[in-house]
Amino acid sequence: MSTDHLPELGFVQVEMQKLRTAVWRGTGNGTPLLFFNGIGANLEIAQPLGELLPDRDIITFDLPGIGGSPGPVTPYRPWWVAHAAKTVLLHYGFDRPVDVMGVSWGGGAAQQFAFQYQNRTRRLILCATSPGSIMVPGKIESLSKMADPRRYMDRNFLTENFKTLYGDEPSGAALFAARMTPPTRAGYVYQLMAMMGWTSLPFLPLLPHETLILAGDRDHIVPVANAKILKAMIRRAEINIFENAGHLFVLSKAREVIPVLKTFLDRPALTNKPARRFEPATA
């Protein structure tokens, strides 16, 4: 992990489960950013956000059995991930609305959080993600390798299959591997299972938030068509498609992505804000 802007690391107890957390403290007054990572990805992978968005607090955590979090105690679902995120936010004193960002699997968690805690969400950013189980699938060879946890445990496997997996150039494998901590097998499987049968399609039209959807035109896992579905279903969404970009474009093209994020996060609120929000009953 870079020493330029290191996070505060800690642990937060969420019922029976202990979660490893990270908070990058910002130097300005920007709205805090809650970040949900991709499947099997440890919180160190979010380090570029801390370095390139230094004006705002950034909060993230490792899911059970991922990174530095102990293995899962019980199976969990997306609603629990959103609840865990709220618990982490409150633990660190973030009791006002936050911006919410999710990448890949984490995009589903971000959608769930935005629906479950609408009044705790200011703006939503969805990267390389889909509406869940009802989606346009990626390439078979990519999906079969994605289900194999060796991509996190065997760096040779990752390097050899990087372009097939993600659609990104193999040169990006070293950057990804340098920040990678292998998940436990139980952690990886439980995270896969968490999204089985889940879809955001029924509630996407109810989301009132300004939403930025980002996609890579060479994404082998989540094709661009899914970003267009999200754009069509979310009332206040806009879309940005990066050229020559695979599934990991947030990492591989960070210098292009960050200005787009900053413009979206820093601009004044749009004037066509809905008058009221639907707040589901949640824990």
Residue 30, Ramachandran bin (φ over 0: left; ψ between -120 and 50: alpha; else beta): beta
Average per-residue pLDDT for the chain: 88
Those residues whose C-beta lies under 8 Å from the C-beta of residue 153, and which sit 6 or more positions away, are 182
Could you list the active site residues? 104
Give pLDDT tens digits for 14-53. Answer: 999 999 999 999 988 899 999 999 999 999 989 889 999 9
User: 25 is written with which tokens?
Assistant: 């403290």
Could you tell me what percentage of the chain is helix, strand and coil, using 3-state DSSP and rounding each to the nearest 5?
A: 40, 20, 40
Amino acid at 129: T
pTM of the model: 0.89
pLDDT grade, residue 251 (50/70/90)? confident
For the chain, domains (ranges, CATH) are: 8-139+185-266 (3.40.50.1820)
Give pLDDT tens digits for 91-148. Answer: 999 999 999 999 999 999 999 999 999 999 999 999 999 999 999 987 777 666 666 6
Looking at residue 70, the DSSP 8-state letter turns out to be P
Give the distance from CA 248 to its chain's centroid.
Answer: 11
Instruction: Show the DSSP H helices in the chain as ranges.
Output: 47-52, 78-91, 105-116, 140-146, 150-153, 155-166, 172-178, 185-194, 224-233, 249-252, 254-266
User: 150 is written with which tokens?
Assistant: 């060796």
Amino acid 145: pLDDT: 61
Q: Average pLDDT in the 77-97 region?
A: 98
Amino acid 194: pLDDT: 97
Looking at residue 211, the DSSP 8-state letter turns out to be E
Q: Edge to edge, what strands does the sheet with 237-242 contain?
A: 8-14, 17-24, 56-61, 30-36, 98-103, 121-127, 210-216, 237-242
